[in-house]
């Protein structure tokens, strides 16, 4: 499917660090109760009270090749895109490579989801109406969290915990597959720092290789820019595996001269294909 972008103690840490019109922000909340590092924290952006119903929740996982990036993403993150629409945005950090390797990234994100499920009602959110989205390395993480049951199981959560899982523009659904194109050397280097070279580890970290028939999953909507052949190929292959095993899945290839970085920005642009699909899933709840 091709779309054109233009077509488109709680009282202590519940004290908002900052606020803008129609939005309250709660920064640097630890989602790990003991021995947490600064990387194991999240920010919550809360809309002003609306119709009295619990608000839907978008959890965003940043990219950065598993070794870079931050939950604030100052040049990308525009929380008001969602808070103005009555959606709570939760942006999370996780431990980064090369200091930490797989499964630290996905384990942290699973722990953050557990925190959201346990506490988001205190911010007016609905723990049963959550979309999990991530860009680039964050896309690999959210896709793995949605397909490999052991990480959510460690947090006593099912794979069906989400309204939908939405990975955005990654070529790492199958980490055992050789990378191609101009970015090959860079991607392979980042992959080795984050996952090592052990074949079993690469399989364990590959969302496309974790899909099983008969295992209930949350619906998956995977996006890629048409400008990245490797991302398109892996996105379509991942969605095909999901569909072939009986799972609800959709690939959306955005054909509007979008760069990898543009795809991240598009998550936070009102009425972009990515934003529109997120809001569509919330609307049918």
Strands 55-61 and 88-92 turn out to be: parallel
Which superfamily does 2-283 belong to?
A: Alpha/Beta hydrolase fold, catalytic domain (3.40.50.1820)
User: Shortest CA distance to 59 belongs to which of 136, 154, 166, 208?
Assistant: 166
- Cα dihedral 62, 80, 59, 217 sign: negative
State residue 17's pLDDT score: 40
Q: Which helix (H) or strand (E) holds 142?
A: helix 137-145
State residue 1's pLDDT score: 56
State residue 7's pLDDT score: 41
What 236-239 contacts at long range (C-beta under 8 Å, 24+ apart), as own/partner pairs, is 237/173, 237/174, 237/208, 238/143, 238/173, 238/174, 238/207, 238/208
Q: Which helix (H) or strand (E) holds 11?
A: helix 10-13
Q: What is the dihedral of CA 99, 198, 132, 241, to 10 degrees?
A: 170
Strands 55-61 and 125-135 turn out to be: parallel
How would you write the pLDDT of the chain (285 residues) with one tens digit per residue?
555 544 443 333 333 444 455 689 999 999 998 667 889 999 999 998 877 799 999 999 999 999 999 999 877 899 999 999 999 999 999 999 999 999 999 999 999 999 999 999 999 999 999 999 999 999 999 999 999 999 999 999 999 999 999 999 999 999 998 766 555 667 788 989 999 999 999 999 999 999 999 999 999 999 999 999 999 999 999 999 999 999 999 999 999 899 999 999 999 999 999 999 999 999 865
State residue 101's pLDDT score: 97
State residue 52's pLDDT score: 79
* Tokens (6 digits) for 270: 């009102």
Task: Give the whole-angstrom CA distance, residue 207 versus residue 184.
Answer: 20
SS3 227: coil
State residue 8's pLDDT score: 45
State residue 3's pLDDT score: 55
pLDDT digits (tens, 9 = 90+) for 11-36: 333 334 444 556 899 999 999 986 67
- Where do the DSSP E strands lie in the chain? 2-3, 18-20, 23-30, 41-47, 55-61, 88-92, 125-135, 164-168, 220-225, 249-254
Domain coordinates of the chain in residue numbers? 2-283
């Amino acid at each position: 499917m091709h779309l054109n972008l233009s077509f488109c103690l709680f009282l202590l840490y519940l004290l908002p660090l900052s606020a803008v019109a129609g939005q309250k922000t709660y920064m640097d909340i630890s989602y790990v109760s003991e021995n947490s590092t600064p990387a194991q924290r999240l920010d919550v952006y809360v809309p002003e009270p609306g119709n009295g119903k619990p608000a839907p929740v978008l959890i965003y996982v940043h990219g950065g090749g598993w070794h870079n990036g931050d939950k604030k993403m100052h040049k990308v993150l525009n929380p008001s895109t969602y808070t103005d629409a009555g959606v709570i945005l939760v942006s999370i950090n996780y431990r980064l490579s090369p200091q930490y390797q797989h499964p630290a990234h996905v384990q942290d994100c699973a722990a953050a989801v557990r925190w959201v499920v346990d506490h988001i009602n205190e911010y007016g959110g609905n723990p049963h109406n959550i979309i999990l989205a991530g860009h680039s390395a964050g896309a690999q993480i959210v896709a793995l969290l949605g397909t490999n049951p052991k990480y959510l199981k460690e947090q006593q959560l099912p794979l069906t915990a989400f309204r939908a899982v939405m990975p955005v523009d990654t070529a790492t659904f199958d980490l055992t597959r050789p990378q191609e194109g101009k970015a090959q050397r860079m991607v392979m280097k980042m992959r080795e720092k984050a996952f090592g070279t052990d074949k079993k580890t690469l399989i364990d970290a590959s969302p496309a290789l974790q899909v099983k028939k008969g295992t209930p999953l949350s619906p998956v909507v995977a996006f890629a820019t048409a400008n990245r052949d490797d991302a398109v190929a892996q996105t379509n292959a991942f969605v095909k595996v999901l569909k072939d095993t009986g799972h609800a899945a959709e690939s959306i290839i955005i054909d509007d001269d979008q760069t990898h970085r543009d795809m991240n920005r598009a998550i936070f642009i009102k009425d972009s294909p990515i934003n529109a699909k997120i809001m569509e899933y919330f609307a049918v709840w």
